[in-house]
């Protein structure tokens, strides 16, 4: 390796303290292909959500030649996209609705003891963010990546 160049470390050893602080959850893993002259090139696309269960969450989408590489790159992306969500009495302060492309999500606050009632990626994102009482609904759309982007768009409105 040439002098002065920084080596990228996707093994997770460099940021071990930061990775311990954040919990990670794999939302989506897909095998994607690209057609080239010699045939099809297979790669993997990983969508990860990270959170500290204290109001900070982030998500990342990345591709890699193997599954482990794609997940590691997605975690690095997620650490760059961290947002802070306000939590009041273990829930969000107000009802929010957001749309990203064809996906629309609705997240409502709930009283203490209600629990987290949401499906799929909405539940994972709110849980990792530290929201313990809320109701979430995916109104339109099934694409997990777009659902996560809609959830983050909604949560950014609260800030």
Q: Which residues contact 3 (CB under 8 A, 6 or more apart)?
A: none
Phi-psi region of 127 (alpha: psi -120 to 50; beta: other; left: phi over 0): alpha
Measure CA of the first residue to CA of the last residue in the chain; give whole Å.
43
With the CA atoms of 58, 62, 65 and 66 taken in that order, what torsion angle do they form, in degrees rounded to the nearest 10? 30
Give pLDDT, residue 159.
77
> pLDDT tens digits, residue range 123-159?
999 999 999 999 999 999 999 999 999 999 999 999 7
pLDDT confidence band for 45 (50 / 70 / 90): very high
Which residue in the block uniquely carries the two structure tokens 């809320």? 134
Angle (CA) 142 146 150, round 5°: 110
Domains in the chain: ranges and CATH = 16-83 (3.30.160.20), 85-158 (3.30.230.10)
Nearest to 149 by CA among 83, 85, 86, 99: 99
> pLDDT tens digits, residue range 71-111?
999 999 999 999 999 999 999 999 999 999 999 999 999 99
> pLDDT tens digits, residue range 7-33?
555 555 555 555 578 999 999 999 999
Query: Cα dist. 122→78, 125, 142 in Å?
Result: 16, 5, 12
């Amino acid at each position: 390796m040439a002098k002065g160049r920084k080596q990228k470390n996707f093994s997770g050893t460099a940021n071990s303290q930061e990775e311990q602080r954040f919990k990670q959850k794999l939302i989506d893993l897909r095998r994607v292909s690209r057609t080239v002259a010699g045939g099809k090139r297979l790669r993997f696309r990983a969508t990860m959500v990270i959170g500290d269960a204290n109001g900070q969450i982030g998500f990342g989408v990345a591709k890699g030649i193997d599954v482990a590489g794609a997940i590691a790159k997605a975690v690095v992306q997620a650490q760059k996209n961290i947002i802070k969500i306000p939590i009041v009495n273990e829930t969000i302060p107000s009802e929010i609705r957001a749309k990203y492309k064809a996906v629309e999500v609705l997240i409502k606050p709930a009283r203490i003891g209600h629990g987290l009632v949401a499906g799929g990626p909405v539940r994972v994102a709110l849980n990792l963010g530290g929201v313990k009482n809320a109701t979430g609904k995916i109104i339109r759309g099934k694409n997990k990546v777009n659902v996560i982007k809609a959830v983050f768009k909604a949560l950014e409105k609260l800030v």
